[in-house]
Amino acid sequence: MATITTLLFDFGGTLDGSAHWLDRFLLSYRAAGIEIPRTDLDIAFDHATRIGYGATRVVSRFGMTDLVRFLVGHQFEYLRKSGPDPLRATLDNSDASGRHRLVEAVTNSFVRETSAGLAHSRAVVGALKSRFKMGIVSNFYGNLERILEEAKLDRLFAAVADSSRVGIFKPEAGIFEGALKKLHCVPEAAAMIGDSLAKDCAPARKLGMRTVWLRTEPHAGEDSAAADVLIRSIDEIAQIQW
């Protein structure tokens, strides 16, 4: 078995915090006093995500706060039209300044948690730099390099595959292959670390990479066969015996 020389990381839900963005948005909504079922926010979340993926030219210049504000704004637009009746009534009864305050409250809550997660990852990943070449493979909006620079993480990663930049989205193999090519690494000498079995572990394993599943919350019916290693926190990466 080849020695692991290269680590590829997912970004959202892995490097920026140990929870999926949807779950973190849900907590941020509730912190702002907005009660909404997860299933309803999920639809609005997907709506805003699709808009973000289609607006790379605009979003590419955004830092984290502007990106989150953009996404929350589009979530609100969807929820005003198609959200649960109590929330639609709340948003309709608020004037523009009131809705703006709610958007800012959700945005600020989300960004605070994200900033803390990135600061923690900076310490963890920084300690690995002397042992591994490292890169990121992420379904993102075209501004991931800007986000990494803002968080002082850019110096740690020699390859950044942002799906909206490269035009390939996980789980397609090409986005992983592009990152490995830039790092001059064969799949057998690389490991993929991420919180999604379907988008991170399964496609990486098909290519011949080792796979590390960051599993912070149990979900019924999960098949962990695509994961070679299961961790609960990125702090455990340094202790993995490759």
pTM: 0.94
Tens of pLDDT along the chain (242 residues) come to 789 999 999 999 999 988 899 999 999 999 999 999 999 999 999 999 999 999 999 999 999 999 999 999 999 999 999 999 988 888 888 888 989 999 999 999 999 999 999 999 999 999 999 999 999 999 999 999 999 999 999 999 999 999 999 999 999 999 999 999 999 999 999 999 999 999 999 999 999 999 999 987 766 566 788 899 999 999 999 999 88
Residue 219's pLDDT is 60
Which residue is associated with the tokens 């909206």?
164
- Sorted by sequence, the CB contacts under 8 Å of residue 150 that are 6+ apart come out as 63, 64
- Sorted by sequence, the CB contacts under 8 Å of residue 10 that are 6+ apart come out as 136, 137, 138, 192, 193, 194, 195, 196, 199, 200, 214
The secondary structure of 154-188 as a DSSP string is GGG-SEEEEHHHHT--TTSHHHHHHHHHHTT--GG
Residue 92's pLDDT is 81
Cα dist. 127→40, 76, 104, 117, 151 in Å?
A: 40, 40, 35, 16, 16
- Sorted by sequence, the CB contacts under 8 Å of residue 179 that are 6+ apart come out as 8, 135, 136, 137, 159, 160, 161
Residue 2's pLDDT is 86
Residue 224's pLDDT is 81
Strand partners, 133: 6
